[in-house]
Amino acid sequence: MVYGASDGEGQELSPEYSKMITRDERRWKVADYDSNGMLDRTEYGCFMHPEDCDHMRDIVVQETVEDIDKDKDGFVSLEEYIGDMYRPEDYPELNGKEPDWVGSEREMFQEHRDKDSDGKLNKDEMRDWIMPP
């Protein structure tokens, strides 16, 4: 039973809502450390704030890749990386010119984040970025 309906019977779910349910179910399974189908207080904390729990690190990386990876190839390209934090329409006063910090982020991607220099971030490189050891 998810969100008050048993498996969505009799209702049409939007693609966005279906993705949210799938994501939450996946996160629930990982947060349910004792695999009893229920979350205790600690497990619920991990479900709500997975970045705070070591056993949830992979799910945080996976969800971040899914959010940023617009072409759905399983990697984050330089364009996707920059596009996640910079939108030209948010800076109309610059008339299409990028703020200096965007150039710094491009350099950070190329020189530090993309460790194998293939032009994209894989899951290990993403993990090192968002959840450094």
Burial track 120-129 (b if 16+ CB lie within 10 A, e otherwise): bbeeebbbeb
Report which residue type is found at 59.
I
Check: pTM over 0.85? Answer yes or no: no
For the chain, which residues make up each domain, given as ranges? Answer: 13-48, 57-133
Sequential pLDDT tens for the chain (133 residues):
455 555 556 678 899 999 999 999 999 999 999 999 999 999 999 999 999 999 999 999 999 999 999 999 999 999 999 999 999 999 999 998 999 999 999 999 999 999 999 999 999 999 999 998 8
The domain defined by 57-133 carries CATH number 3.30.450.40: no
The span from the CA of 46 to the CA of 94, in Å, is 41
The span from the CA of 25 to the CA of 52, in Å, is 19
Q: Which residues contact 53 (CB under 8 A, 6 or more apart)?
A: 31, 45, 46
